[in-house]
Structures are given as structure tokens and as C-alpha cells.
Structure 1
């Protein structure tokens, strides 16, 4: 088992050093700790046959994997995250999920995501290639970004199994048995998700196509001309088929685009680094072209005006 820590890293530039280390061992992301100089972090990584298990222990932080971090030359990985301690919020595949201790979320590293912890946090990750995961969970796309609560179905049993294996990797399991144990783990993941979600009648092809559409939307969310028509034309899909692809989620494309833009605006408004930018600048940078329309939609979603929302989080008023 490999183990890494911020102990010994220079105080100045510690965040950059940790980001570089994490990129070489896991995925390219950008960590932003609450305390950029004094934060503590520890990462342990082990393998269990075809599965990688990683445990991240860290002071309060947020981490983003943007489209700029996604390198097509590196293999796409699905990562099942267990919130072992603490709580967090993750934005992924158009979903916002709040995780408490024992909850799971499935993350597709080939798509952007943003993860924000509330305090000290321990996260355990089960990382597996898509081709292998699909042997047990044929449509992982439909679960990406959704919270699997610890009290739902077999999730509690899965959580205990993942936590135990993360401690036991590298000792107590012979190489002859690693493959079998990994298969049992993947079976448990499959049963936990099929028991925890109603997947009857869903089309695997539609869910996979939907994720292609979501990826395109995320890449072009700042474009004010983004619409169902422009998406259909760019992806060479008929408007009717595009509506069918998105119908599996129960949300219209126009509503999805609006919601994602509002969520990104809200996220930037909570970030003190953006205090020097006006609310209109933030809104227009995310594809809005009317301040009045933005304010009205923001109030409908968050229950308060943008100015009030920003002031509540950062104290800024513009």
C-alpha cells in the first residue's frame, strides 16, 4: 500500500505540491483547502485485483475536476465514493447531492465534478474501469452524481465492506484471493444500487446517450445561444430523439440548462475570490443575457435575491 501526506511538504506552495502529487497517483484535479498553508492531508492507495482502493483524509477542502483536467489519453475511471466521516456536497452530471457519513456517490472521472466538504473529512474511493463495472452494473451513467443513502437497502452493508477492505488492502488477503474478493465487492455494489434505485424499464442506450448530451451541455454552458436546437444540430440528433434521450431523467433540457447555470452562478457567488466581480458579470459569464431574468430565476430557485444570497455567504453586496 502506498501512503502520502502533506507532512514534509513546504508551507508555501503546499496546495500546488499536493495537487501535483494527487495528479500522478489518482486524477488531475484542483484542491482548494480552507487553510491553504496549514492544511493536513493523507492519501493511502492499494489494489485489490482489478480494483483500486484509496482513502483520503483531509481538513476542510473543495476539489474540482473541470473539463481542462480531463485528458482523453488517460483511462476513464468510475469512482465509487464513500463518505466515511464528515459531510460534503457534490455537483456531478447535473445533480447536487449532500452526503453524510455512510452515504455513497458514483463519479465518472470522464465528466466534470465539484466536491465540497463541510469540515474534516474521510473519503474512501473504489476505482474501477468502466468495462469491468458494466459487467455488474450495466448502466452506471444513470447513477452518476446521485446519493445512495447509508440507510437505503444494502448500502450500510456495502459501506462496512468498503471500509474494512480499505484497511485490509496489502495485508491479510493473498494475491490468489484478491480477484475473488474484488468480484464480491463489485457484486455488492451492483446489488446495492439495484436495490436502492428503481431501474425498471430504463434503456441503457438512452442513459449513455444522455450522458453524452450532458457532457456537451457542460462544455458549452457559458454559451448564451445554447438550446435544444443547437444541441441537436451539434450532436447530429433529431429534436425528437434528443427529447427521448433526456426524458429518462424526467427533466426538460431547457430546465436542466437553466438549473445548471444558476447552480454555477451560486457557487461562484459563494466564493470570496469572485467578490471583485459584479453579480451581472457572473450571470452573463454563465450564459444569461438579462439581469432581470437572472434575478427572477435565481429567486425562484434559491428563495432569495442574488444580492442577499451573496451577502449571506461572503458579506459582499454588489
Structure 2
């Protein structure tokens, strides 16, 4: 078994922890851009091992977000399918216009050969697994349509989840040959999980298709202050009940989803510095917040700071 790699901000001065963590994440995961939601205090720990050519990393850290841009994709080494499987906290994966949220008991898979964003809006303890893409999508198989999908609730994907977790925990006790075999098993179980998902024609996948349409509509109309469940239902020609069913189990309502995306957009704009930085009220209004007081209140609830404090920090 490959020896574990351990990285911890405990050995870094508090003022240097955030930039050091961002550098570690970029280097360890072959190019990622990190955002700590504007927080100034941070601590995190990485422990990584390999089972053959499968890389398993345990990540414990304060809330943060990572982004893989098109330029990072072009300069990366090998293609991987990447899995995030939380023990604690949550992970929200965005890729190819889809979004999937995982908590304990589930996993989400995404493709490092495409752009993506992952939000970890609370302190997390994640298992992150990287499997060579060519070993999973063999013989011309294509799994593009099931990236950024939640798996692990039952069936073979549940077996895959438990196998990934147990492999990581038992790697220190395995011989090199056993570790390689465990890595091959993980790849096989991931392949079977994706094949099962692509072959399903159930009400679950229909709800996921509607969920994708809802998210795409929200992203296209995020600046519209009249955006709501009613307006979405009318635009997509479906009932409010179908909208709510599509978001069942996601951990947030459609209204909360809209508000979260608007806040993320405002955060990005508030991070812009220099002479072209826009006034806070203009930013809020441009992203559909019609009331400055309401915007300040929900922004503080989300970040722990007022908009002006966030911009100053």
C-alpha cells in the first residue's frame, strides 16, 4: 500500500492557514481554485492513500468551496472520475447544468475532464475517491448524463459506498497486493453503479430530469426579482406540486435554492476590488434582491458578516 500523505493546518500559523490550504488543495487535486466564503479563520486536515491507482482522501475542514475552471482542465494530467462521500456535513456538486447534494449515506460522482463547482457550506468530514476514468468508462461507455447525480441510497451504489469507506479505513492493514485488489473492486462497483443508473427509467430519474430543468430555468432567470415557484411552474408548464416533489430530499426548498444562488452571485461580485467595484445596493438589486434590508439580513445569516464587512475583509 502507498504510504499515507498527511497535511494539517495545525502546524501552520493561523494567519497563513487559509492560503496554505488553498495551495494544498490545488496541488493535491491536480488544480482547483478554493474559496473560503470570506472566512478569515480556517483549519483543515487531509489524509490520502492509494489502493492501486485509486486515490482515497479523507478531508476534514471548515466550510469552503472549490472550482475547477476550463484552464485547469486543459492543464491537468490524467482524467479521473471523482466521488465525494460525506461522513459529516454536506457537499453540493455543480456540473454540466446539474446539481446534486450528498450527506452521510450518499455519494456524488463528477468528471475532472469538465468544469465543476463544489460547495461545502458547513464543516465537513468527506471521503474523496478518484478513479481513473478510462478504467470505469471502458469499451466506449459514456456516463456523461449521470455526472453530478446522487447515489448510494440502495442497491449496488450502496455496496460501492460501504466498500470505498471500508477500504480507506482498512488500507493501513492491507498488503500491497490486497490494496491493489481493493482498488480494482472499487472501480468495478463504481462502473456497475453508473450502469445501473443509466439503465433506470423510473419516477426517480423523471424527477431528476425535472429538477435539472428547474435549476436551468433558475440560473437563466436569477436576476428576475419575480422569480418564484409560481413563475417557474408556469414557465415549465407543470404544477407547484411537481416542483416541490422534484426537490424532495434535497434539504432545501426552491425558494431557498434561488436565494442561495443569488447570495453566491453577490459574494462573487463583492469580491471584485478596484475602481470598477460596484456599490453594494446595485449588486443586490442586479441579482433580484428588491429590498436592501432583506438582502443585508440574509447575507449576514449566510456569511456571518454584513455585506460591507465582507467587502472590507
Question: 8 Å contact 1:270–1:313 — kept in the other structure?
Answer: no
- Tell me what 1:173 maps to: 174
Deviation at 1:193, TM superposition (A): 3.0
Q: Distance in 2 between matches of 1:129 and 1:309?
A: 46
- Tell me what 1:162 maps to: 164
Aligned length: 252
Matched, 1:187 2:188: yes
Q: How does 1:107-186 map to 2 (within 5 A)?
A: 107-135=110-138, 138-148=141-151, 150-169=152-171, 171-186=172-187
Given the superposition, is the C-alpha separation of residues 73 and 85 from structure 1 closer, same or farther in structure 2, using an over 3 Å criterion? closer
Q: Distance in 2 between matches of 1:151 and 1:252?
A: 20
Deviation at 1:94, TM superposition (A): 0.8
Matched, 1:18 2:18: no
Question: 8 Å contact 1:2–1:44 — kept in the other structure?
Answer: yes
Deviation at 1:265, TM superposition (A): 5.1
Given the superposition, is the C-alpha separation of residues 311 and 165 from structure 1 closer, same or farther in structure 2, using an over 3 Å criterion? same
Q: Distance in 2 between matches of 1:56 and 1:137?
A: 33
Q: Normalization by structure 2: what TM-score? A: 0.66
SS at match of 2:42: coil
- Tell me what 2:72 maps to: 69
Question: 8 Å contact 1:271–1:314 — kept in the other structure?
Answer: no
- List alignment gaps of at least 5 residues for structure 1: 201-248, 284-290, 296-303
Given the superposition, is the C-alpha separation of residues 261 and 76 from structure 1 closer, same or farther in structure 2, using an over 3 Å criterion? farther
Of 298, 304, 311, 1:313 maps to 298
Deviation at 1:312, TM superposition (A): 5.2
SS at match of 1:12: helix
Higher relative contact order (CA 8 A, sep 6+): 2
Q: Distance in 1 between matches of 2:173 and 2:112?
A: 30
Question: 8 Å contact 1:154–1:196 — kept in the other structure?
Answer: no
Given the superposition, is the C-alpha separation of residues 75 and 173 from structure 1 closer, same or farther in structure 2, using an over 3 Å criterion? same
Given the superposition, is the C-alpha separation of residues 80 and 132 from structure 1 closer, same or farther in structure 2, using an over 3 Å criterion? same
Q: How does 1:1-318 map to 2 (within 5 A)?
A: 1-33=4-36, 36-135=39-138, 138-148=141-151, 150-169=152-171, 171-199=172-200, 256=216, 259=219, 262=222, 267-269=264-266, 273=270, 276-277=278-279, 310-311=295-296, 313-314=298-299
Q: Distance in 1 between matches of 2:80 and 2:88?
A: 23
- List alignment gaps of at least 5 residues for structure 2: 202-208, 223-257, 272-276, 301-305, 308-313
